Amino acid sequence: MKNNKTRLRAKSGAFLAGVGAIACAAFAYVLMGMKWPVGSNVGYSVNANSAKVAGELAAVQSAAGSWSAINPSGFRLTYQGSTSVTSESCNGQNTICWENQGASSTLATTYTWYSGGTILENDIVFNEAQNWSTSGGDYDVETVALHEMGHVVGLDHSNSGIMTPYYSGIRRSVDSDARAGFVAMYGGSVGGDGPARDLPPSVKLTSPAPGTAVSGIVTVAATATDDIGVQRVEFFSNETLMTRDTSAPYQYAWDTSTLFNGSFTLKAIAYDTIGQTAQAQIAVIVLPHAPRNFSGIKKNNSSTLLEQYINVLSWEEHEKNKDIRGYRLYQRDGSDWILLAEFDAQTFVFLHKNVDKRKTYTYIVKAVDAGDRDGDGAGLDIQ
């Protein structure tokens, strides 16, 4: 967009003829005289920075979906993620944000950059000073977004439907007049008021099972479906984006070895081709990590007159363990593991007395979390 400034030409005569609003006799829609190229998949980013309402992103996405559903092959608006931009700017990005524009009658403003009859960029700025709502009160975000996106596609004000200039209550579908205007520019079927929608996707986390205690490398998997198509699935661990997967099977290898033990929320968000989303989440427990530096040696107990051997065992805490209740030491007995001793969280040494001088002993020590769950074990053989 910036580069366009360097190629300014004195073409305004031809241009002005192109921007005049064009009314339609059969329908009440009015075209601005500029539009996106037919077939455009216009990406937009949202700074959902309104402090006055929750769910504004979903409302904006729903409005975009209503326009995109008219003729997805002719034009669509696709959510491309969040942005930190807080005001309109000629920066090559289509941005939607909230900015406090003070007390005025303005609910939202659309900035349309164009060249000739072609739209180059749109920014929508909602006036944060107004009382916004997504649940039926005051000014409905989706209604206003639907109107402003009408300008984004190239519609001017008209005398009816969503493109009237004044707010008159909630209206969350594209009326037949506005739809006809869209179809005139981008093709598709006019149909009736309230078009069939591109339904949002669905997603389910299939692995691990909810509440599972996990450790090491864990496969996190999800299934996602959509009536038109799944664009991607994003996986989060405690709100941190772990990966984006754009093709099925949707999964990734979650490495828990670098995390503190404890409770984690795993979330998957599926996006369809127009940016509608669905999410699923589960809670899992990351088990304590194996204690560090588990070591031992067999010694002759010189404090007694008899020949008596002891195995001296020691370990250290793992730097990624927290809220550890204590440790458990297990000894192999044939094919079984038997609990040899339990310790508090500050004990790191154990003397296994009266051991057989000629026998090999196998031990495992595990940290125990606050929920009395054994963590990963550190093993040791002493001959």
State the Cα–Cα distance between residues 73 and 80, nearest whole angstrom: 18
Half-sphere exposure of 243 (CA within 13 A, CB side): 13
The answer to whether 76 contacts other proteins (rule: CB under 8 A) is no
User: How many C-beta atoms lie closer than 10 Å to residue 326's C-beta?
Assistant: 15
CA Rg value for the chain = 32
Which of 86, 89, 243, 277 binds other proteins (CB under 8 A)? It is: 89
Which of 86, 164, 277, 314 binds other proteins (CB under 8 A)? It is: 164
Tell me whether residue 33 or residue 288 sits nearer to other proteins (CB atom).
Answer: 33
* Smallest distance, other proteins to C-beta of residue 181, A: 12
* Smallest distance, other proteins to C-beta of residue 173, A: 15
Tell me whether residue 143 or residue 176 sits nearer to other proteins (CB atom).
Answer: 143
Tell me whether residue 136 or residue 334 sits nearer to other proteins (CB atom).
Answer: 136
The answer to whether 70 contacts other proteins (rule: CB under 8 A) is no
From residue 180, give the alpha-carbon distance in Å to each of 28, 30, 92, 173: 9, 10, 29, 13
* Smallest distance, other proteins to C-beta of residue 92, A: 11
| Per-residue exposure over 65-91, b if at least 16 CB sit within 10 Å of its own CB, e if not | bbbbbbbbebbbbbbeeebebeebeee
From residue 144, give the alpha-carbon distance in Å to each of 27, 158, 174: 22, 15, 12
Q: 290 with 376: CB under 8 angstroms?
A: yes
Tell me whether residue 114 or residue 250 sits nearer to other proteins (CB atom).
Answer: 114
For other proteins, which stretch binds (CB under 8 A), given 26-34, 208-216, 263-271, 297-305? 26-34
The answer to whether 370 contacts other proteins (rule: CB under 8 A) is no
Closest by CA to 172, choosing from 87, 95, 66, is 66
Tell me whether residue 120 or residue 199 sits nearer to other proteins (CB atom).
Answer: 120
Which of 10, 51, 305, 306 binds other proteins (CB under 8 A)? It is: 10
* Smallest distance, other proteins to C-beta of residue 316, A: 58
The answer to whether 9 contacts other proteins (rule: CB under 8 A) is yes
- The single-letter code of the amino acid at 25 is A
The answer to whether 151 contacts other proteins (rule: CB under 8 A) is yes
The residues, any chain, with a CB within 8 Å of residue 118's CB and separated by 6 or more, are: 34, 35, 36, 37
Backbone φ and ψ for 106, nearest 5 degrees, come out as -80, 125
* Smallest distance, other proteins to C-beta of residue 236, A: 34
For other proteins, which stretch binds (CB under 8 A), given 50-58, 98-106, 212-220, 333-341? 98-106
The residues, any chain, with a CB within 8 Å of residue 38's CB and separated by 6 or more, are: 74, 75, 185, 186, 187
With contacts defined by CB under 8 A, how many residues of the chain interact with other proteins? 56
Tell me whether residue 145 or residue 285 sits nearer to other proteins (CB atom).
Answer: 145
User: How many C-beta atoms lie closer than 10 Å to residue 361's C-beta?
Assistant: 18
In the complex, which residues of this chain contact other proteins (CB under 8 A)? 2, 4-13, 15-16, 19-21, 23, 30, 32-34, 87-91, 104-116, 120, 143-144, 147-148, 151, 155-159, 163-168
